[in-house]
Amino acid sequence: MPYVVVIPLVLIALYLVLAYVVYFRAFVPMRPFYLDDFSFTPYEFQADYEDVELVTADGVAFGAWYFRQPGSPQTIIVSGGHKGQRQGALGISVSLWRKGFNVILYSYRGMPGSDRAPITFGIKEVLELQAAIAFARKRIPNARIGLLGYSMGAVVSILGAAGEPGVQALILDSPFSYLRRLLVENVRSASKLPGTPFVWLAGLLFWQRTRCTLSACRPIDVLSALEPRPLFFIHGGADAITNVNHSRRLYDAYRGPREIWIVQGAPHTGAYFADRPLYVERVAGFFARHLGLDVSSHLRLVEEEEVS
């Protein structure tokens, strides 16, 4: 077969394979693994908690941990990152519970303990958040709700709060401003190739599987629906997955009260690990101010030079 035919066929095959890799890594949940059942739970932290199973409006069952603070209406719902398990946010969840907050930490669809379903980067995962909010309102009298989200979970928090005016404050750790842009940036960074053609085909596969489009995930477009609620953006300055400019873009576009904390040298969602005590104090302090919880006896003074 002449090269004039072989070379185009090889290039087309490579294009299809790479586009599928983009689709697979972004939207296909990890396969169940036998070690999924051998991981930390709130039990190891001696927390007062309840293991609950919730169901979304579209019929997806998912697991959640409800950390109880009887008599306190202040409630924080924690949304994890892309393909992350709820165990990954146990540290901050337990710390906030010890500060006096009720905390709800949940898993997404497709993750261990939940029904298997495609990942949609927040388009459908917002239904899990809505179910968690409904649970909080049912179980906690006069619940005052704040949202803490990481990466994809920060986007889930933005999209969810846009349709839930009862949410009173949000902390958004390492969010992206637009899904398509994020995927293009990651493909370009990983392969040194133009990302747009691969993301276009991956988006087509995504639509065929879910009937969702990449353009449906543009958290920057719904920011006005969050006003005038306070937002606190946190981002690692060395984030190689979601560039810090995504948080800056969201921060600049928001017209309500807002704060931003760029942790120099921290990788993606790495601000907590860069300085756990400082991170807990800043997060707890923000929610205490805006949800009305007196935690003055639990909070240490954060010196100005500690904040980068």
- Dist CA 168 CA 232 (whole Å): 12
What does the pLDDT read at residue 3?
66
Query: pLDDT for 188-247, tens place per residue?
Result: 999 888 999 999 999 999 999 999 999 999 999 999 999 999 999 999 999 999 999 999
Report residue 221 as tokens.
Answer: 């477009």
Instruction: Tell me which residue has tokens 């690692």.
Output: 236
Q: State the chain's mean pLDDT as an integer.
A: 91
This prediction has a pTM of 0.91
The phi, psi pair for 47, rounded to 5°, reads -90, 150
Q: Residue 305 pLDDT > 60, yes or no?
A: no
Q: How confident is the model at residue 295 (pLDDT cuts 50, 70, 90)?
A: low
pLDDT tier for residue 23 given thresholds of 50, 70 and 90 = very high
Q: What is the pLDDT of residue 195?
A: 92
pLDDT digits (tens, 9 = 90+) for 90-121: 999 999 999 999 999 999 998 887 898 999 99
- Mark out the alpha helices in 192-275 (DSSP H runs): 196-210, 244-253, 271-274
Closest CA to 89 of 79, 76, 100, 99: 79
pLDDT band at 306 (very low <50, low <70, confident <90, very high): very low
The answer to whether the CB of 27 falls within 8 A of the CB of 118 is yes
Does the pLDDT value for residue 150 go beyond 90? yes
How sure is the predictor about 251, in pLDDT bands with cuts at 50, 70 and 90?
A: very high
* CB-count exposure of residue 218 (10 Å: 0-12, 13-18, 19+): middle
More confident residue, 176 or 9: 176
From residue 126, how far is each of 25, 67, 108, 119, 263 by CA, in Å? 20, 21, 9, 11, 27
Give the residue-averaged pLDDT of 272-277. Answer: 97
Residue matched to tokens 């704040």: 146
pLDDT, tens only, 29-64: 887 776 666 778 898 999 999 999 999 999 999 999
Are 172 and 157 in contact by the 8 Å Cβ rule? The answer is yes
Q: What is the pLDDT of residue 183?
A: 97
CB distance 173 to 148 below 8 Å: yes
Cα dihedral value 170, 90, 183, 60, nearest 10: -90
Model confidence band, residue 299 (pLDDT cutoffs 50, 70, 90): very low
CA distance 214 to 202: 9
How far, CA to CA in Å, does 276 sit from each of 160, 242, 297, 306? Answer: 27, 21, 19, 12
Which tokens belong to 289? 């101010």
